[in-house]
């Protein structure tokens, strides 16, 4: 009986570890699970990816409000879902200065994290780089530590990561990291 229980537990760990890795990379490189679009296209952008184990990853962004019709001004909702956890937050964009072709992230708010068969802690929005330059993008990351198939006392699988938005040359890239 114990041997069967351990086998089933290890099978769950393998399946969920594969689906959890979409929130796990520890660098600022774009993951293979990303979307990019011109932020002048003020429509909803979403994409789903299917992993080998059947897990569906979803990432997206949508314009929420705009003070003007210019893409450099406005609010975007950014989100990602790896099948076990969902994260979303809002970013407000503006030109770095009047007439500038570069974008800055002026504020972030509304971080919401939910988990299915998981708990989370240390959730935060981190503006890695607030202003885009000619050589570097503006970057914001929603972050949390996830405890999959466990609780505050028992940990089956733990990872950290979240959803990153990168703005460069009028292109927004959203990815799970």
Which tens digits make up the pLDDT trace of 23-53? 443 344 557 889 999 888 889 999 999 988 8
Q: What is the pTM of this model?
A: 0.76
The per-residue pLDDT for 130 is 97
The per-residue pLDDT for 5 is 36
The total domain count for the chain is 1
Q: In a 3-state reduction of DSSP, which class is residue 133?
A: coil
- Report the C-alpha gap between 4 and 172 in whole angstroms: 48
Give the CA count within 13 Å in the CB-facing half-sphere of 168. 15
The per-residue pLDDT for 121 is 87
The per-residue pLDDT for 7 is 39
Q: In a 3-state reduction of DSSP, which class is residue 21?
A: helix
The per-residue pLDDT for 152 is 62
Return the sign of the alpha-carbon dihedral for residues 143, 22, 62, 98.
positive
The per-residue pLDDT for 158 is 79
The per-residue pLDDT for 29 is 53
The residues pairing with 175 across neighbouring beta strands, listed in sequence order, are 34, 164
Q: Domain span at residue 66? A: 2-176
Residues in the chain with pLDDT values less than 50: 1-28, 69, 71
Could you give phi then psi for residue 108, rounded to 5 degrees? -135, 150
């Amino acid at each position: 009986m114990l041997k069967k229980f351990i086998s089933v537990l290890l099978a769950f760990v393998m399946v969920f570890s594969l689906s959890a890795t979409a929130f796990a990379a520890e660098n600022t490189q774009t993951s293979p699970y990303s979307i990019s679009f011109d932020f002048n296209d003020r429509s909803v952008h979403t994409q789903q990816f299917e992993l080998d184990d059947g897990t569906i990853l979803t990432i997206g962004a949508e314009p929420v409000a705009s003070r003007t019709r210019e893409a450099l001004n406005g609010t975007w909702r950014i989100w990602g879902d790896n099948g076990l956890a969902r994260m979303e937050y809002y970013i407000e964009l503006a030109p770095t200065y009047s007439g500038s072709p570069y974008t800055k992230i002026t504020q972030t708010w509304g971080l919401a994290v939910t988990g299915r068969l998981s708990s989370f802690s240390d959730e935060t929005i981190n503006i890695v780089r607030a202003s885009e330059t000619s050589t570097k993008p503006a970057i914001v990351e929603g972050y949390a530590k996830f405890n999959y198939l466990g609780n505050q006392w028992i940990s089956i699988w733990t990872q950290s990561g979240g959803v990153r938005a990168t703005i460069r040359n009028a292109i927004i890239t959203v990815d799970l990291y």
